[in-house]
Structure 1
Amino acid sequence: MAKERGLISPSDFAQLQTYMEYSTKKVSDVLKLFEDGEMAEYLQGDAIGYEGFQQFLKIYLEVDNVPSHISEALFQSFQTGYCLEETVKQDVVCLSDVSCYFSLLEGGRPEDKLEFTFKLYDTDRNGILDSSEVDKIIIQMMRVAEYLDWDVSELRPILQEMMKEIDYDGSGSVSLAEWLRAGATTVPLLVLLGLEMTLKDNGQHMWRPKRFPRPVYCNLCESSIGLGKQGLSCNLCKYVVHDQCAMRALPCEVSTYAKSRKDIGVQAHVWVRGGCESGRCDRCQKKIRIYHSLVGLHCVWCHLEIHDDCLPAMGPECDCGLLRDHILPPSSIYPGVLVSGQERKISKTSQKTIDDINLSPSEALRIDPVSNTHPLLVFVNPKSGGKQGERVLWKFQYLLNPRQVFNLLKDGPEPGLRFFREVPDYRILVCGGDGTVGWILETIDKANLPFVPPVAVLPLGTGNDLARCLRWGGGYEGQNLGKILKDLETSKVVHMDRWSVEVIPQQTEEKSDPVPFQIINNYFSIGVDASIAHRFHIMREKYPEKFNSRMKNKLWYFEFATSESIFSTCKKLEESLTVEVGVIRPNPISFSVSCVLVSSSTGALGNSPYS
């Protein structure tokens, strides 16, 4: 395996993933160019040489110059000698292996990835692979798993067991239907392939791979997962299992809305074994011996942790705990059919209508929040903060009702605003940078809401100037989200001046970048400040791997500011810029390099423009 040979480092693999994140190409697009397009000259049967491999990376990653140490290491890792015999030559790699590997890494549904990888090796297109060809697919899966830091020693027997189940008649061949059916029921494999976690409310867990910093116990077999080992954890209920136990896991206990009339209005505790991270019982205040076995219970709504023996003393009703002001419990969300006068109970058919048919949540579900609460609508940009956003998304899905938490990369802010449209006294929390906040505020402006909800910010960006002036801090550094939510509960609503800007070009034939937003939330600048920000934006789009942390981003701003001060690209700005305020044209202003209209107290990474 590549990792055993030490050919590519974890940091190089992370950089490779960043390239893929920003690329618009699919493996299938590149394959067409090699099979019957302009890249066909590099193909040697089913193999390509190093030059062809470099062209593959250049086109697929949309990067002119992939670092040589990465391309060389990747090329060597594919030299496994698994190409068709007649094409195996020195210094070549199998194009199918390369395509299979990258298709497993790129976005998309696991079912589509399984089908694509199968067809890659089904060269005669008869819908059948022999066991050795399926082994090639599994080799690429194992390679991906290693670099994603999975415990391959656990994954390998799972895939081997899957292969035994596929070839049930011992014929040594596998059909496409058998391959898809087996892959779709192997939970660790689906998670590895990037299973899109969606709310179905049908007992499905929302699994994510997790490496545990302390010993924990599997909820199914109750044996230890081990310090530093990886297992699967459900985002909704914290149910934890070994990779190999996931397929036999009990259904998820969490329901995000009421499915019968008796469940409306009063929320009951939902207890799940284990997950008692504090190690202390909230009822008797004694220790829970979490390091010895699977003990204790935690409620997924109020987050109380208790001994098993203390359960009889707990009442059935759940008040949603310390975060009750923010939470929409399932008892507050229900299908409209339950209050429409129809006597029929909600069935599996009607549940499918809500979860699977293309109805918006606002059309299918009604919301009646607990009195005197302020339900929180959370928007998260997973790409913000050097992947901090993804972890924040997972945590909020557990702390709140998952139906309150929206991933901005999927559908934008509109579905969340529609869902909460008629909810009284709700608040919004935006987890992202200033650009994300501007996006949400502009969408609110266009949504014509009955009332404009107050907006708080969890700063995940680089500068976070808007969050600074609203006293939410200069950047999230992993603080306790529960404490942040309590701070939000007691925070004061303030009004903020916002300005509209209209750019009217005098020379319409001259090309330029469009203005990102029509509303000024922080500041609007012309000149050196705008030049620095524009150069930063262009460089980040071209080389995203160089902008993967807040500190690196600040260093880039410093470099651009330094070069701007040396070369002075905005000299004599006043000769081509006139400022009018209202209908009054002031006397010439002595701004030689920049004109900034300020709406907030800080700008340019927290610096005050007034000092």
Structure 2
Amino acid sequence: MVMYCVLLTPIAPCKSLWIRGSAKRLKCCINEEGFRLFLKTYLEVEDFPKDLCQRLFRSFQIHLSKSTEEVFLKDVSCYFSLLEDGQPRDKLEFAFKLYDRDGNGVLDSSEVDRIIAQMMHAADYLGWDVSELRPVLKDMMTAIDADSSGTVSLDEWVEGGMNNVPLLVLLGLKVGKDGQHLWRMKHFNKPVYCNVCQSMLLGLRKQGLCCTCCKYTVHGRCANINPAPCTRTYVKSKKDTGVPTHDWVSGNCDSGKCDKCQKKIKSYHGLTGKHCVWCHSMRHDDCASQEPSDCNCGPLRDHILPPWAIYPVIKQRSNSGTINPVPDTHPLLVFVNPKSGGKQGERVLRKFQYLLNPRQVYNLSNGGPGPGLCFFRSLKDYRILVCGGDGTVGWILDAIDKANLQVRPPVAVLPLGTGNDLARCLRWGGGYDGTDLCRILKEIEVSTPVLMDRWNVEVILEDPHETGDPVPYEIINNYFSIGVICLCCLDNSYGHFHVEDEKHPQKFNSRMKNKLWYFEFATSETISASCKKLNECLTIECCGTPLDLSGRSMEGIAVLNIPSMHGGSNLWGEAKKSECKCLMNPQEMPVVIVDPEVLKVSGQDVSDRRLEVVGLEGAMEMGQIYTGLKSAIRLAKTSQITIRTKKPLPMQIDGEPWMQPPCTIHITHKNQASMLMAPQGRSSFFSSK
């Protein structure tokens, strides 16, 4: 696992190493110490575990005698290039140039064998059954060197590689056009048969290729034998729009139940049964032939945008659309952050690409939310599902603001990773636990739209010439805090890096250094000294009314928009329903409430256009608040707030901390986002801490 984490750390592209370095540099051998230095430089880390370094080093001692205690630097570079993100063609060209010693554009067979050895090495690391891949690559080499000259040109090498499906999957092929399978290598824990040759897939590891979208399954060698195309995701003729049709894929329904005759689909050592890509029903072969051609999209009908609802218009008018949803449905636009929650994001992405039309499911690593919002913008009634953390949700809400949509669609959340305060408040829970996604889709179907306030934050430095840390966000969705409360977010806040890295890659390195410095500062005695007697180093005005902080020994202030903070802590506390005044019409509610007796019976409402202000006497209180034993000190309920600080203080917005020099902070209402609240009986947002 350690090796896996290290190898997938963002690293400088290998291609740049070829461009910057000389050919001679990449021909040399390096010893174990040089190998360790290479890893530290290449992965941009301060140190590298010695035992892991030794194991990796030994894994490259394939072509040299182990007694030499050296490895080829070019083998190492080739291996890492295969594991990186990037285009398959670029990887093929880079590997070729790496081994082209004299730069004449030709490799001999032994050099090509060296490249293939590193491909096998990378495939083995990724869990492939290399006994399946080896003959596929061997066949490719035979085809490339058709004239048996013993040499391969760059054009021959690239053309051969780009026509070899298993190799393209290994190199990270992306789907380019409709009808192209979205292949991935997969391990099957029960007998599975190839859709091309109809024989069983054998092997102990990942035995074959399976299409994420339609579940068409093949041997690696059979993927090159013109398999049937993947399911269509749109119709190519206008006369086919609105014509619902089953799309049956044969085989691998063993142990399933036929949805027509209700009898078990039994395997007879071959392809068994059929399943429809759109309604996901299974049939015996005979039952499928008797089935009407009309497809009703099954239990997920309300969410699916089937191919017969999409027709690409080449020259469309500005007000014309290409999507005509099935009547009485609410198509779901899904955004997935694949880096959220470890590998959870990638698995969720693949599952939704199968359950829905792949054109409804967007990987936020590939261009952000813009393409999805643009594709759906002509629809009048649709929903959005965001799969990620609170930072990802904020990203999507910002994008909806900037897209200037005619209709603002309601947003549901599938929380990935930890924290997820907003998802807790909307009853979607503190983190995805592997629950069947069909069940979650049914809950979205019966969810309730609610409005959620969002707030502008303006920070004005007291000394405009002073250079402070950048303020992470300009909008508050969850909360803002000053003082010791910020320390509690440190463990959870690291989860927001993937979002910021994708939105603003240029900020990633500097913000990581800032957080490491902040953590060091937080664990020193400096923090307790700087945050004591907070009332003496700041003032707070709520709608022009000064808050009286005298006589209170507080070390933290929090401004709350939602009733969850730091992974489930309710700082405001619960109010008795019989006394709760949170349901008062916002127009009737005072713009500011500071009376302690009124605050005592005031609840929270994410759509009341009000913020709650609380104080904390010390960091130790957070443990008691987290377990529900007490709440923070209620100071005010207000529609706008101004805070003036007299010295540098730690602050945070929605879990992102920074150190702020003396300044004036204005927080005002921005707008309201339409969100989806999960059904009442699902789970409490405090149940998944």
**Shorter-chain-normalised TM-score: which range?**
0.7 to 0.9
Report the equivalent of 1:18.
Answer: 8
Q: 1:130 & 1:179 partners in 2: Cα distance?
A: 11
Q: 1:373 & 1:591 partners in 2: Cα distance?
A: 56
Paired-residue identity, %? 55
Q: 1:79 & 1:212 partners in 2: Cα distance?
A: 32
Is 2:44 aligned against 1:66?
no
Is 2:351 aligned against 1:430?
no
Is 2:563 aligned against 1:601?
yes
Q: 2:155 & 2:314 partners in 1: Cα distance?
A: 39
Q: Secondary structure at the match of 2:531?
A: coil
> Deviation of residue 587 (structure 1)?
1.1
Deviations 1:155-194 (A, max 9, x none): 1111111111111122111111111111111111110111
Q: 2:271 & 2:521 partners in 1: Cα distance?
A: 56
- CA change 1:226–1:171 in 2 (3 A) is closer
- Which residue of the other structure, out of 317, 321, 336, is the alignment partner of 2:298? 321
Is 2:88 aligned against 1:127?
no
**1:523-602 equivalences in 2 (<5 Å):** 523-533=479-489, 537=493, 563=523, 568=528, 570-588=531-549, 590=552, 592-602=554-564
Q: Aligned partner of 1:15: which letter?
A: C
Q: Aligned partner of 1:579: which letter?
A: I
Q: 1:263 & 1:561 partners in 2: Cα distance?
A: 64
Deviations 1:71-111 (A, max 9, x none): 2222222233459xxxx993332111111111111111111
Q: Secondary structure at the match of 2:322?
A: strand
Q: Secondary structure at the match of 2:469?
A: coil
> Deviation of residue 517 (structure 1)?
2.4
Instruction: Confirm or deny: 8 A CA contact 1:241 1:249 kept in the other structure.
Output: no
Q: 2:460 & 2:315 partners in 1: Cα distance?
A: 53
- CA change 1:47–1:509 in 2 (3 A) is farther
Is 2:31 aligned against 1:49?
yes
Report the equivalent of 2:122.
Answer: 144
- Which residue of the other structure, out of 445, 448, 460, is the alignment partner of 1:489? 445
Report the equivalent of 1:349.
Answer: none
Q: Which has the higher strand share?
A: 2
Is 2:351 aligned against 1:395?
yes
Report the equivalent of 1:549.
Answer: none
Is 2:225 aligned against 1:248?
yes
> Deviation of residue 392 (structure 1)?
0.7
- CA change 1:59–1:599 in 2 (3 A) is same
Q: 1:169 & 1:424 partners in 2: Cα distance?
A: 60
Instruction: Confirm or deny: 8 A CA contact 1:215 1:291 kept in the other structure.
Output: no
Q: Aligned partner of 2:33: which letter?
A: E
Is 2:240 aligned against 1:258?
no
Instruction: Confirm or deny: 8 A CA contact 1:383 1:389 kept in the other structure.
Output: yes
> Deviation of residue 471 (structure 1)?
0.4
> Deviation of residue 238 (structure 1)?
0.7
**1:121-520 equivalences in 2 (<5 Å):** 121-198=99-176, 200-201=177-178, 203-226=179-202, 229-230=205-206, 231-276=208-253, 279-290=256-267, 292-337=269-314, 366-520=322-476
> Deviation of residue 604 (structure 1)?
1.0
Q: 1:540 & 1:57 partners in 2: Cα distance?
A: 26
Q: Aligned partner of 2:483: which letter?
A: G
Q: 1:235 & 1:457 partners in 2: Cα distance?
A: 23
Q: Which has the larger radius of gyration?
A: 2
> Deviation of residue 535 (structure 1)?
7.2
Instruction: Confirm or deny: 8 A CA contact 1:261 1:338 kept in the other structure.
Output: no
- CA change 1:296–1:227 in 2 (3 A) is farther
Which 10-residue stretch deviates more, 570-579 or 519-528? Answer: 570-579
- CA change 1:242–1:45 in 2 (3 A) is closer
Q: Aligned partner of 1:13: which letter?
A: M
> Deviation of residue 380 (structure 1)?
0.3
- CA change 1:257–1:586 in 2 (3 A) is same
Please report the TM-score for the alignment, with normalisation by the length of structure 2: 0.75
Instruction: Confirm or deny: 8 A CA contact 2:418 2:495 kept in the other structure.
Output: no
Q: Secondary structure at the match of 1:502?
A: strand
Q: Secondary structure at the match of 2:209?
A: strand
- CA change 1:514–1:44 in 2 (3 A) is closer
> Deviation of residue 275 (structure 1)?
4.1
- CA change 1:235–1:469 in 2 (3 A) is same
Q: Secondary structure at the match of 1:174?
A: strand
Report the equivalent of 1:28.
Answer: 15
> Deviation of residue 228 (structure 1)?
5.0
Q: Secondary structure at the match of 2:428?
A: coil
- Which residue of the other structure, out of 71, 77, 80, is the alignment partner of 1:99? 77
Q: 2:329 & 2:476 partners in 1: Cα distance?
A: 32
Q: Aligned partner of 1:595: which letter?
A: I
> Deviation of residue 461 (structure 1)?
2.6
Q: Aligned partner of 2:14: which letter?
A: V
Instruction: Confirm or deny: 8 A CA contact 1:253 1:270 kept in the other structure.
Output: no
> Deviation of residue 564 (structure 1)?
7.4
Gapped regions of structure 2 (runs ≥ 5)? 501-515, 574-630, 632-689
Instruction: Confirm or deny: 8 A CA contact 1:220 1:241 kept in the other structure.
Output: yes
- CA change 1:253–1:132 in 2 (3 A) is closer
Q: 2:87 & 2:553 partners in 1: Cα distance?
A: 54
Q: Aligned partner of 1:136: which letter?
A: R
- CA change 1:97–1:494 in 2 (3 A) is same
Instruction: Determine which structure has greater relative contact order: mean sequence separation of CA pairs < 8 Å that are 6+ residues apart, divided by chain length.
Output: 2
- CA change 1:141–1:508 in 2 (3 A) is same
Report the equivalent of 1:3.
Answer: none
Instruction: Confirm or deny: 8 A CA contact 1:332 1:367 kept in the other structure.
Output: yes
Which 10-residue stretch deviates more, 566-575 or 405-414? Answer: 566-575
Instruction: Confirm or deny: 8 A CA contact 1:237 1:300 kept in the other structure.
Output: yes
Instruction: Confirm or deny: 8 A CA contact 2:129 2:203 kept in the other structure.
Output: no
Q: CA RMSD in A?
A: 2.8
Please report the TM-score for the alignment, with normalisation by the length of structure 1: 0.84
Q: Which has the higher helix share?
A: 1
> Deviation of residue 337 (structure 1)?
4.7
Q: Aligned partner of 1:255: which letter?
A: R
- CA change 1:390–1:525 in 2 (3 A) is same
Which 10-residue stretch deviates more, 582-591 or 171-180? Answer: 582-591
- CA change 1:565–1:415 in 2 (3 A) is farther
Instruction: Confirm or deny: 8 A CA contact 2:27 2:72 kept in the other structure.
Output: no
Which 10-residue stretch deviates more, 145-154 or 363-372? Answer: 363-372
Q: 1:296 & 1:539 partners in 2: Cα distance?
A: 44
- CA change 1:519–1:275 in 2 (3 A) is farther
Gapped regions of structure 1 (runs ≥ 5)? 1-10, 341-361, 545-555
Aligned length: 552
Q: Aligned partner of 1:527: which letter?
A: G
Instruction: Confirm or deny: 8 A CA contact 1:215 1:225 kept in the other structure.
Output: yes
Q: 2:92 & 2:316 partners in 1: Cα distance?
A: 43
Q: Aligned partner of 2:391: which letter?
A: G
- CA change 1:102–1:380 in 2 (3 A) is same
> Deviation of residue 409 (structure 1)?
0.8
